[in-house]
């Protein structure tokens, strides 16, 4: 594996549709990996609103809902459904390499850019 940003997750064949699994030792917050319709998706395991593990929330279809205040995040893109979260969360592309799942940061995903505003952030930002 040559990409220094790639994270090996192991064999995830046991992860069934609608299930999720946490990898805590990756990055500042870990990654929550979900399987939906046979595909694997990864998100930073931290709600952009108030630092809550999204892995403790509910996965319905492609939407992972934060357990604290209910914002949903699309596991395919990291985009948020609306307030009280004011931005999405970083997401990861999950590739299979000889049966081993590998998480790669999506460059264009929702990086937390300080000072960026969608017009709602000034009202809903909590940190
Ligand atoms: S902590 Fe997730 S919506 Fe508030």
Cβ–Cβ < 8 Å for 94, 10? no
According to the model, what pLDDT value does residue 4 have? 80
Ligand 1 pocket check for 85: Cβ under 6 Å: yes
Rounded distance from Cα 104 to ligand 1 centre (Å): 25
Cβ–Cβ < 8 Å for 31, 25? no
* CATH number of the domain to which 94 belongs: 2.102.10.10
Once rounded to an integer, what is the mean pLDDT over residues 43-65? 97
Please give the backbone phi and psi of residue 109, each rounded to the nearest 5 degrees, phi first.
Answer: -80, -175
Partners of 43 in the β-ladder:
32, 91
Between CA 87 and CA 110 the distance in angstroms is 7
Could you read off the pLDDT of 84-117 as tens digits, one per residue?
999 999 999 999 999 999 999 987 666 554 444 4
- Domain of residue 101: give its range: 7-110
Ligand 1 pocket check for 89: Cβ under 6 Å: no
Total domains in the chain come to 1
């Amino acid at each position: 594996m040559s990409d220094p940003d790639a994270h090996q997750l192991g064999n995830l064949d046991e992860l069934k549709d609608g299930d999720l699994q946490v990898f805590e030792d990756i990055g500042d917050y870990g990654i929550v990996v979900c399987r939906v319709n046979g595909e694997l998706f990864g998100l930073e395991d931290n709600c952009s609103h108030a630092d809550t593990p999204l892995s403790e929330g509910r996965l319905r279809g492609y939407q992972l809902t934060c357990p604290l205040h209910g914002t949903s995040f699309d596991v395919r893109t990291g985009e948020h459904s609306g307030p009280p979260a004011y931005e999405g969360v970083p997401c990861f592309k999950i590739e299979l390499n000889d049966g081993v799942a590998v998480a790669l940061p999506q460059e264009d995903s929702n990086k937390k850019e300080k000072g960026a505003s969608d017009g709602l952030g000034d009202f809903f930002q909590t940190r």
